[in-house]
């Protein structure tokens, strides 16, 4: 167990891990995204209340779910970086931030587009939407903070603190629809009890959530590989790899 954890602190091992995982995770992601989208757009039935506009659910919900989970990934990397000073955790935190920001932006934009035919407004200062906007600013804040520092070790520490403080926002986002009066509907998928969504609509949604998780993993690994290649450009293990190709 400890050996595996130690391996995750080794840049050559992580670089090779990225190189091995990306080639098979990428096709799985593309196929899952295509099948899920076609299923949701072409084969799922129309919603009796919202009509066909509900089909935005197949990108909006997966993007929002992974944006929240991605923040925990970034916070965990921040914690490891802060407590154990593992440089690779800084790399992981930096790799996850732009991906999380993009996912949050997708959730906000598709939510606004879905809001227009459903609520009659592109945007409302609703608890769920506002807390998601704060999540977007937290992601962007981490990126900006890292770039603002000359000393990258100090930058990583500052980003880790910001990331950890920002985790407070995640349960607020999750519970916002229960705590405050909101236009946003409560969660349709329940882990305990019956989901408030028909299986014919639920299965493509679950597939898309899985596909978005795979996409998050593959894009973070791509970012980490690019970052590692640059940070260790003078390392002999990387030069050997380059010369071996």
Contact with another protein (CB under 8 A): which of 163, 169, 176, 223? 223
Binding region for another protein (CB under 8 A) out of 5-13, 148-156, 157-165, 214-222: 214-222
Strand ranges inside the chain, DSSP E: none
Torsion from C-alpha of 163, 189, 133, 224, nearest 10 degrees: 40
At residue 183, φ and ψ (nearest 5 deg) are -75, -30
3-state secondary structure of 125: coil
Binding residues for another protein restricted to 25-64, rule: CB under 8 A: 33, 37, 41-46, 51-53, 55-56, 59-60, 63
Contact with another protein (CB under 8 A): which of 28, 102, 124, 206? 102
| 80 vs 214 by CB, closer to another protein | 214
Both tokens of residue 108? Answer: 């906000």
Q: Give the closest residue to 96 by CA, choosing from 5, 212, 221.
A: 221
| 84 vs 122 by CB, closer to another protein | 122
Do 143 and 57 touch, CB atoms closer than 8 A? no
Q: Does 229 sit near another protein (CB under 8 A)?
A: yes
Binding region for another protein (CB under 8 A) out of 6-14, 99-107, 128-136, 147-155: 99-107
Binding residues for another protein restricted to 111-150, rule: CB under 8 A: 113-114, 116-117
- Cβ-proximal residues to 158 (8 Å cutoff; 6+ apart), any chain: 145, 149
Contact with another protein (CB under 8 A): which of 91, 110, 131, 163? 110
Do 74 and 142 touch, CB atoms closer than 8 A? yes
| Residue 221 parent element (H or E) | helix 199-231
Q: Which residues bind another protein (CB under 8 A)?
A: 33, 37, 41-46, 51-53, 55-56, 59-60, 63, 98-99, 102, 105-106, 109-110, 113-114, 116-117, 215, 218-219, 222-223, 225-226, 229-230, 233, 236, 238-240, 242-244
């Amino acid at each position: 167990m400890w050996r595996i954890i130690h391996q995750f602190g080794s840049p050559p091992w992580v670089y090779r891990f990225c190189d091995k995982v990306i080639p098979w995770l990428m096709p799985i992601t593309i196929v899952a995204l295509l099948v899920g989208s076609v299923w949701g757009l072409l084969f799922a039935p129309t919603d009796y209340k919202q009509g066909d506009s509900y089909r935005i659910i197949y990108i909006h919900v997966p993007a929002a779910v992974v944006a929240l989970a991605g923040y925990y990934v970034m916070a965990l990397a921040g914690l490891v970086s802060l407590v154990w000073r593992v440089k690779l955790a800084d790399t992981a935190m930096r790799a996850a931030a732009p991906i999380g920001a993009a996912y949050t932006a997708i959730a906000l934009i598709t939510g606004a587009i879905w809001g227009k035919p459903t609520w009659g407004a592109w945007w409302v200062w609703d608890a769920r939407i506002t807390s998601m906007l704060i999540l977007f600013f937290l992601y962007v804040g981490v990126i900006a903070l890292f770039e603002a520092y000359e000393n990258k070790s100090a930058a990583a520490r500052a980003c880790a603190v910001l990331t950890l403080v920002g985790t407070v926002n995640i349960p607020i986002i999750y519970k916002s629809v229960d705590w405050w009066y909101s236009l946003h509907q409560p969660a349709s998928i329940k882990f305990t009890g019956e989901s408030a969504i028909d299986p014919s609509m639920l299965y493509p949604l679950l597939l898309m959530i899985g596909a978005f998780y795979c996409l998050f993993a593959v894009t973070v690994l791509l970012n980490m590989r690019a970052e590692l290649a640059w940070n260790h450009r003078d390392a002999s293990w990387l030069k050997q790899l380059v010369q071996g190709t």
